[in-house]
Amino acid sequence: MSKFQAPKGVSEYFPERSRHFEFVRETLIQSARVSGYELMELPVFEDTELFARGVGESTDVVSKEMYTFEDRGGRSITLRPEGTAGVMRSVIEHNLDRGQLPVKVWYSGQFFRAERPQAGRYRQFYQVGIEAIGLNDPEIDAEVIAVAVMAFEKLGLKDYHTEITSLGDAVTRERYTKDLREYISTLALDESTIARAELNPLRLFDDKRDEIRSMMEKAPVLMDYLTPESAAHFEEVKSTLDQFGITYQVNNRMVRGLDYYTGTAFEFVHHKLGAQSGIGGGGRYDGLMRQLGGSDLSGIGFGLGVDRILLACEAEGIEVPQENSLALFIVPMGESVKGFAVLKAHQLRAHGISVDVAYGDRALKGGMKAADKSGARFALVLGDDEIASGKGELKNMQTGDSVSVTLRTLHEELLKLI
C-alpha cells in the first residue's frame, strides 16, 4: 500500500493559498452581513428524502450525483448537494417562518456531488449562500443579486457577467413546457438528445453543438408565456437593478439545474474558467417550503462557488491583501533564553498581540531571516543581555530602525505602535 492521498475530486487549501481562499470566503460573507443576513449553521448531511423532494428526483444532482448511505440506525442519509433544502428544513423545523418576515440567513460550508472531477468541479466543494424567505417583493430579488455582485466588486472581479431571467409560476411553466416539447418533437434528434429532452426540455437550450443551437433558435421562449403579474415582477426586478447600477443580460433560455426555481432566476458566469464557468447562481422558489411541509412562503437565494471564485480571482491576477500579519517576531539567542522568550510571547498573545518565536536552534542570522519571512512588523532579539538589563531593541522590519523598550511593559509599547 502506497501513501495515503486525498479522496478523488476534493479540493484542499493550505498555506499560502488557504489565505486567499479565506479572503474570498470572508468577502462573500461580509457582503451578506452588511445586507442584514445572519448565520445559519447546518448539518452537512440530511435525510435523503429532503433532497429527493426538495431538489427534484428528475435532476441530475439527485438522480446520479448524491453521496447517499445508510447510517447505523438504518436511515438513508445524504451528504448535502446544495444548501437551500437544508435551510428550508431548518426554518420549518424551528418555526422561523412564524416570526418576522423575511427570514434572511447566510451559510457557508462544504457540499458534495459525485461528479467526474475537473478544475473547478469538485466532489467536495465550498459554497457561500444566502436565502431571503417569506416575502416576494421584487426589490428583495434585486437585493439578493446585489449581495453577490457587491462581493464580486469587492474582490475586484471584472471578467464576468450576470444573467437573469424569469421562469414564471408553475402554471406558466406547465403551459410552456408542453409547447416546447411539441416543438422539440418536430426536430430530427439523436436518441440520447431525445432522452435528455424527455427529462427536461429546457436542457436543449444549453447544448453546445451548433446544429442543436440553430434548431433551438426558433423554439418558443418562456418569457412570452409569463402572466402579467410575473412579467410586472420581473420588470420591477430589472428596474431596481438598473437603479443599483448593476448590469445584466436577460437570458430567456437560461437553464437551472434544480427543479424548485420559479420566477426570477440568475447566474454569474466568469469568462476565464473554461467549461466550469458558473461562479454562482440562484433564484426564487415559490412552492419549495410548502413542498417540504412548511407554510406556503416564497423565498429567494443564491449559492456562490467559493472554489470557482478563487479560481476566477487567480485567472484575473487579483492580488489578495496580506492579512493577519504578525505584530512581533521574537528571536531568542540560545537555549538559556528560550524559555523566557516563549513565556513573553505567551503573555503578549494574551494581550491580543500576534506574536511568533524563532523555534529551533537557529543562529541569530537564521532567526532574523525567519522574522523576515514571517512578515512580522517588529522583531525583538532576546539574549542574556536583555534579560539582565530588562531592556531590548525593538526593530521595525520595514524601516530597519530600532527603539529601546522595557521588556516588562512590552505589551503597552507594542499596542501603541501597532
Question: What nine digits make up the cell of 333?
Answer: 539567542
C-beta of 226 vs 333, nearer to RNA: 333
Cell 503578549 -> residue: 348
C-beta of 119 vs 232, nearer to RNA: 119
Q: What are the CA-CA distances from residue 295 to residues 43, 76, 94, 251, 286 (Å)?
A: 22, 25, 12, 31, 11
- For the bound state, the minimum distance from the C-beta of residue 130 to RNA, rounded and expressed in Å, comes to 13
Stretches 19-27, 102-110, 217-225, 375-383: which one binds RNA (CB under 7 A)? 375-383
Binder of RNA out of 36, 339, 366, 390 (CB under 7 A): 366
Should residue 54 be labelled a site residue for RNA when binding is judged by CB under 7 A? Answer: no
Binder of RNA out of 287, 291, 369, 417 (CB under 7 A): 369
Contact 301/130 with Cβ under 8 angstroms? yes
Should residue 416 be labelled a site residue for RNA when binding is judged by CB under 7 A? Answer: no
Stretches 13-21, 43-51, 314-322, 396-404: which one binds RNA (CB under 7 A)? 396-404
- For the bound state, the minimum distance from the C-beta of residue 117 to RNA, rounded and expressed in Å, comes to 5
Contact 377/328 with Cβ under 8 angstroms? yes
C-beta of 235 vs 401, nearer to RNA: 401
C-beta of 97 vs 111, nearer to RNA: 111
Helices (H) and strands (E) in the chain — how many of each? 15, 16
- Identify the three-state secondary structure at position 362: coil
Should residue 185 be labelled a site residue for RNA when binding is judged by CB under 7 A? Answer: no
C-beta of 39 vs 363, nearer to RNA: 363
C-beta of 97 vs 282, nearer to RNA: 282
Query: Between vectors from CA 252 to CA 249 and to CA 255, what angle results, nearest 5°?
Result: 105
Should residue 341 be labelled a site residue for RNA when binding is judged by CB under 7 A? Answer: no
C-beta of 96 vs 377, nearer to RNA: 377
**Count of residues near RNA by CB under 7 A:** 75
- For the bound state, the minimum distance from the C-beta of residue 112 to RNA, rounded and expressed in Å, comes to 9
Should residue 370 be labelled a site residue for RNA when binding is judged by CB under 7 A? Answer: yes
Amino acid code (one letter) for 98: R
C-beta of 140 vs 376, nearer to RNA: 376
C-beta of 97 vs 280, nearer to RNA: 280
Positions 263 through 322 that interact with RNA (CB under 7 A)? 267-268, 274-281, 303-305, 307-308
Q: How many CA atoms lie within 13 A of 118 on its CB side?
A: 6
Should residue 398 be labelled a site residue for RNA when binding is judged by CB under 7 A? Answer: yes
Stretches 8-16, 91-99, 221-229, 343-351: which one binds RNA (CB under 7 A)? 8-16
Whether the CA torsion 181, 211, 265, 57 is positive or negative: it is: positive
130 strand-pairing partners: 106, 302
Binder of RNA out of 26, 101, 362, 417 (CB under 7 A): 362
Positions 127 through 156 that interact with RNA (CB under 7 A)? 127
- For the bound state, the minimum distance from the C-beta of residue 298 to RNA, rounded and expressed in Å, comes to 18
- For the bound state, the minimum distance from the C-beta of residue 155 to RNA, rounded and expressed in Å, comes to 14
Positions 76 through 95 that interact with RNA (CB under 7 A)? 82
Contact 345/330 with Cβ under 8 angstroms? yes
Positions 12 through 31 that interact with RNA (CB under 7 A)? none
From the number of C-beta atoms within 10 Å of its C-beta (0-12, 13-18, 19+), residue 81 rates as buried
The Cα–Cα gap between 414 and 418 comes to 6
Strand 160-166 with 249-250, pairing: parallel
Should residue 104 be labelled a site residue for RNA when binding is judged by CB under 7 A? Answer: no
Provide the 8-state DSSP code for 258.
S
Binder of RNA out of 116, 191, 217, 218 (CB under 7 A): 116
The Cα–Cα gap between 227 and 140 comes to 20
Strand 160-166 with 103-112, pairing: unpaired
Binder of RNA out of 21, 106, 107, 122 (CB under 7 A): 122
In this structure, how many other beta carbons lie within 10 angstroms of the beta carbon of residue 238? 19
Positions 189 through 248 that interact with RNA (CB under 7 A)? 196, 203, 206-209
| Secondary structure string (H, E, C) spanning 275-335 | CCCEEEEEEECCCHHHHCCCCCCCEEEEEEEHHHHHHHHHHCCCCCCCCCCCCEEEEECCH
- For the bound state, the minimum distance from the C-beta of residue 340 to RNA, rounded and expressed in Å, comes to 12
- For the bound state, the minimum distance from the C-beta of residue 381 to RNA, rounded and expressed in Å, comes to 4
